[in-house]
Amino acid sequence: MEPRSAPVSSKVPCAASLKDLIRELHRVFEADHINVEYVHELMSSYNSNPKEWQQFAKFDRHRYTRNLVDGGNGKFNLMILCWSEGQGSSIHDHADSHCFMKVLAGTLKEVRFDWPRPQDGVEAPMVKKGETELHLNTVAYINDSLGLHRVENPSHCEPAVSLHLYCPPFDECSMFDQRTGHRSKSKVTFWSKYGQRTPFVITPSQPEQYENN
């Protein structure tokens, strides 16, 4: 899937509701080539309304959750991630997918890293590129050519909720140890789908290796 193409519309995108956003995403992703700037503007145009997304916002006190909102006919996954106080992801890649992230409630911190570069086969600490605080309705974008990232809720008193769009969808990504740069594969799972809790499954070969972002 190409990151850029001719504009899909001459008008500025506007999503007055979550349903409008989903409807327009389906239209946009009918094409083989995706205009990243247009999708970014479309995601930005939606103003968070908890009444529209709270049915998908499922929290877990032990870890952040990934909650599928729309499967995008196999072209994309739209999901809501819920972050209790202090929860965060591992450092991870995006399996050659485009990732758009919009804050629906609270504040998130995104920390970006360069890809690890072992020298002479010796692992080394990962290099941080920078960090950004993302506030209500802010949209961020990343793909593997831009590096790796970790996302966390920096607050110790308020939860956070974010809307994530991945295209194309993926069910496995790589996680990285910040101290050594060591890479490990991880299955990604959904805490819920379309507002309903999904069964919790642990694979025998990787009892703890799954990633929620």
Look at residue 211 in the predicted model and tell me its pLDDT: 52
- 149 labeled binding residue: yes
Give residue-wise pLDDT tens across range 103-139: 999 999 999 999 998 877 788 999 999 999 999 999 9
pTM score of the predicted model: 0.89
The whole-number pLDDT of residue 91 equals: 98
Low-confidence residues of the chain, pLDDT below 50? 1-8, 203-210, 212-213
Instruction: Look at the domain 55-199 and name its fold.
Output: Jelly Rolls (2.60.120)
Sequential DSSP letters for the chain? -BS--S-S-SSPP--SSHHHHHHHHHHHTTSSB--HHHHHHHHHHPPP-HHHHGGG----SSS-EEEEEE-GGGT-EEEEEEE-TT-BPPEE--TT-EEEEEEEES-EEEEEEPPP--BTTB--PPPEEEEEEE-TT-EEEE-GGG-EEEEE---SS--EEEEEEEES--SEEEEE-TTT--EEEEEE--SEETTEEPPP--BTTBSS-EE--
Domain boundaries along the sequence of the chain: 55-199
